[in-house]
Amino acid sequence: MENGVRRWLVNVSQWNPSEAQFASVISLFPVDEQTAITRYIKFEDKKRALVSRLLQYSLVHEVLGIPFDKIIIHRTAEGKPYLKNSIDFPFSNFNFNVSHHGDYVGIASEPLCLVGLDIVSITTPKQETELEFINNFSPYLTVLEWKNIAHAGSSEEMLAEFYRYWCLKEAFVKAIGAGLGYGLGRLEFHHTNWTGISAYIDGVESKKWRFSLSKLDEKHWVSIARGLPNKADELCCSNLSLPELGFTFRTLEELISNVN
């Protein structure tokens, strides 16, 4: 029985379309989406934007059965995509989140809980040292998090540690749809070797959120934040304590064939 939960990933480095192929995939989408995709200047950004939409539409189609050409996805003022089509119970709180960075584009959906997803691609900074780079983000990390980063080991290990914290913070902010104006320095993550992750907001542990962080490969990590919306009922609370579903890798060919 359809439960509305999905965790999909695509490795875009494995897709190298010709101009014609790219054009044909883009034409599957409504004009405003096409414009949004082609506005990007770098081809890699266009590619990721296209795959992101492909994931969104495929997921909605698969979970809710809405035909591709009837799917309407809008964005909040903060840029979070959401489904405009009205949906019936039990998916009335259906929401999803996408992320892309480096080689991966991912999507996560939930029927009841809020969900946020973030992928980070650990990139060695080009114009500054790892420490200088991390220092840019000092207002967004707490003292404890800084300490953990500082004690992580080599510069590379510190960089990776920073990226893991950032990944979790982003997933959370994206789940609540707050955009980047949220004070990330208010949020502190506690964990045991990156499992059993909990979030403290303004010093108080949040019981309404669950987090997971997993490694995709040497340079990529993915995090999921799941939480209770405000008028959370029994069903949603029990939903929250379900174990985190693992990611499924999808290929472009599969996703494109779903459209046709």
Return residues touching another protein (CB under 8 A).
Answer: 39-42, 44-45, 74, 76-80, 82, 93, 95, 101, 114, 126-127, 131, 133-140, 146, 149-151, 153-154, 158, 166, 170, 176-186, 201, 206, 229-232
Q: Do 213 and 223 form a contact (C-beta atoms < 8 A)?
A: yes
Nearer to another protein, 156 or 254 (CB): 156
Shortest CB 231 distance to another protein, Å: 6
CB nearer to another protein: pick between 42 and 70 = 42
Task: Decide: 168 and 189 in contact? Cβ < 8 Å.
Answer: yes
Closest approach of another protein to the CB of residue 147, in Å: 9
In the complex, minimum distance from the CB of residue 158 to another protein, in angstroms, rounded to a whole number: 7
Indicate the SS3 state at residue 223. Answer: strand
Q: Locate 146 and state its tokens.
A: 């800084």
Element (H, E) at 211: strand 209-217
Cα–Cα distance for residue pair 124/68, rounded to 1 Å: 39
CB 171 within 8 A of CB 223: yes
| CB of residue 259 to another protein, shortest distance in Å | 25
Give the nearest distance from C-beta 251 to another protein in angstroms.
Answer: 24
Tokens of 55: 């994931």
Tell me the residue length of the chain.
260
How far is it, in rounded angstroms, from Cα 117 to Cα 107? Answer: 7
**Nearer of residues 95 and 109 to another protein, judged by Cβ:** 95
Q: Could you tell me what percentage of the chain is helix, strand and coil, using 3-state DSSP and rounding each to the nearest 5?
A: 40, 25, 35
195 vs 210: CA distance, rounded Å: 11
Pick left, alpha or beta for residue 179 (phi over 0 → left; psi -120 to 50 → alpha; otherwise beta): left
Q: Which is nearer to another protein, 124 or 257 (CB)?
A: 124
Minimum CB separation of residue 148 from another protein in Å reads 11
